[in-house]
C-alpha cells in the first residue's frame, strides 16, 4: 500500500480542468527550459575543463594576467542565481495565481 | 616567537602545558586560543538558549521534523546555506584556491549549479508531496515497506559518511585552532549536536544554521574586503600580485606549480581525464539534489511559494560565499604565503596545514580578535552541518523505518518523537565513536562517497518517482540498490580507498569518481525493471500517478499547505 490516498473524483475533475492543463504545460515547459539552460552552461564548462583546459587560461587582454576562466567562472555563479530569480518570479506570480484559480474552481 | 604564541600573548592568555591534557596532549604550538574559545562559548550559550526555547515549542512530530512548517523563505534560504556551507568548503576550497588556483573555482561551481536544478525540478514538488523526509515522496504511490527501507538506507549511508568526515575534520581543526585535544573536540561537537537535535529538533537546528550562515558570510566578507583593500580594489593588481606571490613562495605546493609551469588561472591537476571531469561534475550537481539533510529543509516552509523563495536566497548566499572563498584563497597567496609567521618551514606548508589558509587570512587582515572570531565561526560551521545531518539520520530511523515501514503509519506521535530523540542520541554516539576511530585515517574520500551515493541512489528514485509515471516499486528497488552498491564498490576499488587507505599497490577501478557509471546503472536499472514489471501492483502504482501529479502541481492536500 502507498501512504496517501486522494479522492479519485476530485483528481478526475482537476485533470479535466483547462486551467490545470495550462498550468502543467506552462510550468513544466518553463522548468525544463531553464534546467536545460543551466545544464548546457555547466556541462559546456565541464567539457572545456575536460578537453581544452588551456582555453580557460587565455588572457582576457594582452596586458592582463587575468584568464578568461575567472570571469567565466563568476559568470556561471551569477547565471545560476539569475536563473533561479527568473523562475521564482514567474512561478510565484503567474503560476501561483493559476493554481489559486484552480483551487477556487474546485470548491 | 611562533605565530600561535603571539596570539596567546596578544590575547593575554595562559598557555596550557601539554602535560595538562595527560596522554591526549596537544602538540607543541597547538596551544589554547582564549579569544576564540570565549567567542565560541558565546555562540554555544546563545544556541543552547535557543534550544531551550525551541524545546518548549516542540510538541508534535511536525514541530520536531519540520519546525512546524513555519519557517519563512528567507530564513530557510539562510538555513539551507548554513546547512550546505561546511567548514570543508570554507577552509577546503579557499585552501585549494590558495594551493592550486583555478581548480578551487571548478569545485565551487559544481557545488553551486545543483541548486537551480533543485529549484526547477524538485523544490515545490518536495513541498507539495512530502511531510518530513524525501521517502514520503517516493512512497506516495510506491510500496511503503521496501521503499522506506531503501530510502532510509540511502539516508543513513549518506549521513554517516558525511558525519564521519565532519567529525574528523572538526577534531583536527579544533585541535589546531583552540589547542584542544582531538578526542575532546570530537566529544564536544558530538554532545552539542545531540543536545540541539534531541531537545530542540528542527526549530533549534534551523536557528543554529541561520546564525552560523550569518556569521560565516559576515566573517568571509570581511576577510575578502581585507584582501582586496590591500590592492585598493584593483582586480588586475590583485591577480598580478597573486601570480607573483606564487612565484616568490617557499611553500611546497607553490614550488610544484612553478616547477611544472602550471597556470594558476587555468584548470590544473584536479581533473586528469575527461571521464573523471564529467563524473565529478555529475556527482557534485546531482549529489546536492540527493542529500537527505538538504531535502529535509523543504518541509520546514509553509508552501511551494516559500520553498521556491528559499532556493533563490540559498543560491544567492552560497554563490556569493564561493566567490568570497576564491578571493580569500588568492588573497592568502598575497598576504599569508610571504609572511614567515604563518609558515611551517620544515613541512613547507602553512602552519597547521594549507587548510588553514582562510584562518591565517583572518589574522593577516584583522589581527588576533578577528582570528578568534573566525575560529569560533569555523567551529559553529561544523556544529550547524552535523546537527542537520543528525536530524536527517534520526528522522530516517523514526519516521521512515519505525513509523512507516514497521508500524504502517499508525503510530503514537509521542512514541515516534521519543524514538527520534533516542536515534539522534545513538547517531551522535556512533559519530563520536567513529570520529575518534578514524582520527588517523584519510577520510577525504568520505564526502565524495556521500555525494556519489546521494547522486546514484537517492536522487534517481526521487526524481523518477516525481516525473516518470511508469516507475514501479520493483524498478526503484533494483535501480536504487544498483546505484548504492555500485557506488560503494567502485569507490572502494578506486585509488582513493584501495591505494590511499588500504595500502594496495594499484587501483582496480581507474576513476576517482564513480558517478557517471553508478548513476547510469541506477537509472537504467529503474527504467528496465519498471518496464518489465507488469504485476497487478505495478499497474496500481502507475494508476496512482494521476493523483500524485495533481497534488504535486497544485499542492491540494499537501501537508501544511495553504488552506483557503
* pLDDT of B15 strictly over 80: no
The pLDDT value recorded for residue A42 is 95
* pLDDT of B480 strictly over 90: yes
Which of A34, A56, A76 is opposite residue B120, by nearest beta carbon? A34
The pLDDT value recorded for residue B289 is 94
Confidence class of residue B10 from pLDDT cuts 50, 70 and 90? very low
CA dihedral A89, A95, A97, A99 (to 10 degrees): -150
Whether B518 is covered by a domain: the verdict is no
pTM of the model: 0.90
Mean pLDDT (whole number) for B77-102: 92
Q: Which residues of A40-74 are buried (b: 16+ CB within 10 A; e: fewer)?
A: ebbbebbebbbeebeebbeebeeeebbbbbbebbb
CB contact under 8 A, A2 and B319: no
* pLDDT of B313 strictly over 90: yes
Spell out the residues 6+ positions from residue B148 whose beta carbon is closer than 8 angstroms to its own. B135, B139, B400, B401, B404, B405
How many domains in chain B? 1
Residues of B in contact with A46 (CB under 8 A): 277-278, 281
Which of B109, B263, B278 is opposite residue A50, by nearest beta carbon? B278
The pLDDT value recorded for residue A24 is 93
Query: Which secondary structure element, helix H or strand E, spans residue B257, and what is its range?
Result: helix B252-259
Could you tell me if B360 and B381 are in contact, meaning their C-beta atoms sit under 8 angstroms apart? no
Which of B243, B273, B550 is opposite residue A14, by nearest beta carbon? B550
The pLDDT value recorded for residue B271 is 65
Q: Which of A21-25, B191-195, B437-441 has the lowest mean pLDDT?
A: B437-441
Instruction: Supply the CATH number for residue B310's domain.
Output: 1.20.1730.10
Confidence class of residue B405 from pLDDT cuts 50, 70 and 90? very high
* pLDDT of A2 strictly over 60: no
Whether B290 is covered by a domain: the verdict is yes
Q: How far is A18 from chain B (nearest CA, A)?
A: 13
CA separation for the pair A68, B74 (Å, rounded): 34
The pLDDT value recorded for residue B12 is 32
Residues of A in contact with B319 (CB under 8 A): 77-78, 80-81
The pLDDT value recorded for residue B529 is 97
The pLDDT value recorded for residue B13 is 30
3-state secondary structure of B372: helix
Confidence class of residue B85 from pLDDT cuts 50, 70 and 90? very high
Which of A1, A32, A102 is opposite residue B144, by nearest beta carbon? A1
* pLDDT of B261 strictly over 90: no
* pLDDT of B109 strictly over 60: yes
Tens digit of each residue's pLDDT (9 = 90 or more) over B135-149? 999 999 999 999 999
Mean pLDDT of chain B: 89
The pLDDT value recorded for residue B50 is 95
CB contact under 8 A, A56 and B102: yes
Residue B476's φ and ψ, nearest 5 degrees, are -65, -40
Mean pLDDT (whole number) for B110-126: 94
Q: How far is B43 from chain A (nearest CA, A)?
A: 30
CB contact under 8 A, A73 and B105: yes
Interface with B, mutate which of A65, A74, A85 (most B CBs under 10 A):
A65
Mean pLDDT (whole number) for B493-503: 86
* pLDDT of B18 strictly over 50: no
Which of B109, B124, B267 is opposite residue A76, by nearest beta carbon? B109
CB contact under 8 A, A6 and B557: yes
Spell out the residues 6+ positions from residue A73 whose beta carbon is closer than 8 angstroms to its own. A45, B102, B105, B106, B108, B109, B326
Q: What residue of A is the nearest CA neighbor of B118? A: A35
Mean pLDDT (whole number) for B488-514: 88
* pLDDT of B90 strictly over 50: yes
The pLDDT value recorded for residue B31 is 54
Q: How far is B250 from chain A (nearest CA, A)?
A: 22
Whether B504 is covered by a domain: the verdict is no
Q: How far is B491 from chain A (nearest CA, A)?
A: 21
Confidence class of residue B537 from pLDDT cuts 50, 70 and 90? very high
Confidence class of residue B9 from pLDDT cuts 50, 70 and 90? very low
How many other CB atoms sit within 10 Å of the CB of residue B436?
A: 16
Whether B473 is covered by a domain: the verdict is no
CA separation for the pair B107, A77 (Å, rounded): 12
Which of B273, B312, B409 is opposite residue A88, by nearest beta carbon? B312
- What Cα–Cα distance (Å) separates residue B466 from each residue in A34, B321, B459, B460? 18, 31, 11, 10
CA separation for the pair B322, B324 (Å, rounded): 5
Tens digit of each residue's pLDDT (9 = 90 or more) over B159-182? 999 999 899 988 888 888 888 899
CA separation for the pair B556, B548 (Å, rounded): 10
Interface with A, mutate which of B119, B137, B544, B564 (most A CBs under 10 A):
B119
CA separation for the pair B167, B158 (Å, rounded): 14
Count Cβ–Cβ pairs < 8 Å, chain A vs chain B.
Answer: 185
Which of A5, A65, A84 is opposite residue B239, by nearest beta carbon? A65
* pLDDT of B20 strictly over 70: no
Write down how long chain A is: 107
Spell out the residues 6+ positions from residue B520 whose beta carbon is closer than 8 angstroms to its own. none
The owner of cell 567565466 is A72
CB contact under 8 A, A103 and B557: no
Confidence class of residue B29 from pLDDT cuts 50, 70 and 90? very low
* pLDDT of A30 strictly over 50: yes
Higher pLDDT, B180 or B118: B118
Residues of B in contact with A83 (CB under 8 A): 116
CA B357 remoteness from chain centre: 20
C-alpha cell at B387: 546537527
Domain extent, residue B368, equals 2-440
CB contact under 8 A, B116 and A80: yes
Residues of B in contact with A91 (CB under 8 A): 124, 304-305, 308
Tens digit of each residue's pLDDT (9 = 90 or more) over A56-76? 999 999 989 999 999 999 999
CA separation for the pair B548, B543 (Å, rounded): 10
How many other CB atoms sit within 10 Å of the CB of residue B5?
A: 12
CA separation for the pair B194, B527 (Å, rounded): 40
Q: How far is B211 from chain A (nearest CA, A)?
A: 22
The pLDDT value recorded for residue A54 is 87
Residues of A in contact with B550 (CB under 8 A): 6, 10-11, 14-15, 20
C-alpha cell at B271: 581533473
Whether B556 is covered by a domain: the verdict is no
Tens digit of each residue's pLDDT (9 = 90 or more) over B347-389? 889 988 888 999 999 999 998 889 989 988 988 899 999 999 9
Mean pLDDT (whole number) for B488-504: 88
Which of A23, A24, A67 is opposite residue B265, by nearest beta carbon? A67
Q: How far is A16 from chain B (nearest CA, A)?
A: 11
Q: What residue of A is the nearest CA neighbor of B553? A: A24
Which of A35, A56, A100 is opposite residue B117, by nearest beta carbon? A35
The owner of cell 500517478 is B545
Residues of A in contact with B266 (CB under 8 A): 53-54, 56-57, 67, 69
- What Cα–Cα distance (Å) separates residue B225 from each residue in A90, B213, B228, B232, B316? 35, 18, 5, 10, 18
CA separation for the pair B221, B365 (Å, rounded): 11
Tens digit of each residue's pLDDT (9 = 90 or more) over B215-250? 999 999 999 999 999 999 999 999 999 999 999 998
Residues of A in contact with B551 (CB under 8 A): 6
Amino acid at each position: 500500500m502507498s501512504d496517501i490516498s486522494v479522492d479519485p473524483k476530485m483528481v478526475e475533475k482537476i485533470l479535466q480542468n483547462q486551467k490545470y492543463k495550462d498550468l502543467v504545460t506552462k510550468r513544466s515547459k518553463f522548468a525544463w527550459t531553464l534546467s536545460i539552460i543551466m545544464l548546457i552552461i555547466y556541462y559546456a564548462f565541464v567539457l572545456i575543463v575536460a578537453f581544452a583546459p588551456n582555453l580557460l587560461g587565455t588572457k582576457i587582454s594582452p596586458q592582463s594576467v587575468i584568464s578568461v576562466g575567472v570571469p567565466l567562472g563568476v559568470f556561471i555563479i551569477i547565471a545560476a542565481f539569475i536563473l533561479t530569480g527568473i523562475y521564482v518570479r514567474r512561478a510565484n506570480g503567474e503560476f501561483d495565481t493559476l493554481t489559486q484559480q484552480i483551487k477556487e474552481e474546485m470548491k | 616567537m611562533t605565530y600561535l604564541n603571539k596570539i596567546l600573548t596578544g590575547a593575554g592568555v595562559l598557555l596550557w602545558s601539554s602535560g595538562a591534557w595527560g596522554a591526549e596532549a596537544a602538540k607543541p604550538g597547538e596551544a589554547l586560543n582564549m579569544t576564540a574559545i570565549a567567542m565560541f562559548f558565546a555562540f554555544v550559550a546563545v544556541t543552547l538558549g535557543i534550544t531551550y526555547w525551541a524545546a518548549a515549542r516542540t510538541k508534535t512530530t511536525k514541530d520536531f521534523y519540520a519546525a512546524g512548517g513555519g519557517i519563512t523563505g528567507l530564513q530557510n534560504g539562510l538555513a539551507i546555506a548554513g546547512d550546505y556551507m561546511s567548514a570543508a568548503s570554507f577552509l577546503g576550497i579557499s585552501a585549494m584556491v590558495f594551493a592550486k588556483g583555478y581548480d578551487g573555482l571548478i569545485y565551487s561551481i559544481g557545488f553551486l549549479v545543483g541548486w537551480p536544478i533543485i529549484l526547477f525540478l524538485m523544490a515545490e514538488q518536495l513541498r507539495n508531496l512530502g511531510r518530513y523526509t524525501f521517502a514520503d515522496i517516493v512512497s506516495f504511490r510506491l510500496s511503503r515497506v521496501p521503499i522506506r527501507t531503501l530510502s532510509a538506507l540511502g539516508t543513513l549511508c549518506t549521513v554517516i559518511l558525511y558525519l564521519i568526515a565532519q567529525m574528523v575534520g572538526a577534531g583536527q581543526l579544533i585541535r589546531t585552532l583552540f589547542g584542544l585535544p582531538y578526542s575532546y573536540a570530537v566529544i564536544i561537537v558530538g554532545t552539542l549536536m545531540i543536545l540541539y537535535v534531541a531537545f530542540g529538533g528542527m526549530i533549534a537546528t534551523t536557528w543554529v544554521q541561520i546564525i552560523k550562515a550569518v556569521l560565516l558570510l559576515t566573517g568571509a566578507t570581511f576577510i575578502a574586503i581585507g584582501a582586496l583593500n590591500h590592492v585598493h580594489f584593483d582586480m588586475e593588481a590583485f591577480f598580478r600580485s597573486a601570480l607573483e606571490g606564487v612565484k616568490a613562495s617557499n611553500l611546497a605546493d607553490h614550488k610544484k606549480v612553478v616547477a611544472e609551469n602550471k597556470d594558476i588561472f587555468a584548470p590544473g591537476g584536479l581533473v586528469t581525464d575527461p571521464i573523471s571531469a564529467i563524473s565529478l561534475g555529475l556527482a557534485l550537481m546531482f549529489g546536492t539534489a540527493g542529500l537527505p539533510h538538504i531535502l529535509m529543509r523543504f518541509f520546514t516552509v509553509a508552501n511551494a511559494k516559500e520553498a521556491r523563495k528559499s532556493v533563490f536566497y540559498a543560491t544567492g548566499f552560497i554563490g556569493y560565499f564561493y566567490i568570497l572563498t576564491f578571493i580569500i584563497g588568492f588573497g592568502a597567496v598575497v598576504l599569508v604565503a610571504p609572511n614567515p609567521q604563518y609558515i611551517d618551514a620544515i613541512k613547507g606548508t602553512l602552519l597547521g596545514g594549507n587548510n588553514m589558509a582562510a584562518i591565517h587570512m583572518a589574522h593577516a587582515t584583522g589581527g588576533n580578535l578577528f582570528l578568534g572570531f573566525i575560529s569560533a565561526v569555523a567551529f559553529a560551521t561544523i556544529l550547524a552541518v552535523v546537527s542537520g545531518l543528525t536530524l536527517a539520520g534520526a528522522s530516517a530511523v523514526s519516521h521512515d523505518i519505525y513509523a512507516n515501514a514497521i508500524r504502517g503509519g499508525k503510530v503514537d506521535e509521542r512514541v515516534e518523537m521519543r524514538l527520534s530523540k533516542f536515534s539522534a542520541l545513538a547517531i551522535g554516539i556512533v559519530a563520536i565513536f567513529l570520529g575518534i576511530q578514524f582520527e588517523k585515517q584519510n577520510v577525504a574520500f568520505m564526502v565524495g562517497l556521500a555525494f556519489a551515493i546521494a547522486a546514484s541512489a537517492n536522487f534517481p528514485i526521487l526524481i523518477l518517482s516525481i516525473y516518470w509515471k511508469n516507475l514501479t516499486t520493483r524498478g526503484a528497488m533494483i535501480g536504487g540498490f544498483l546505484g548504492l552498491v555500485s557506488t560503494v564498490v567502485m569507490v572502494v576499488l578506486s585509488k582513493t580507498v584501495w591505494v590511499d587507505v588500504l595500502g594496495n599497490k594499484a587501483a582496480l577501478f581507474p576513476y576517482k569518481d564513480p558517478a557517471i557509471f553508478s548513476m547510469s546503472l541506477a537509472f537504467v536499472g529503474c527504467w528496465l525493471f519498471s518496464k518489465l514489471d507488469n504485476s497487478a501492483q505495478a499497474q496500481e502504482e502507475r494508476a496512482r500517478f494521476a493523483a500524485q501529479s495533481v497534488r504535486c502541481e497544485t499542492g491540494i492536500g499537501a501537508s501544511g499547505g495553504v488552506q483557503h
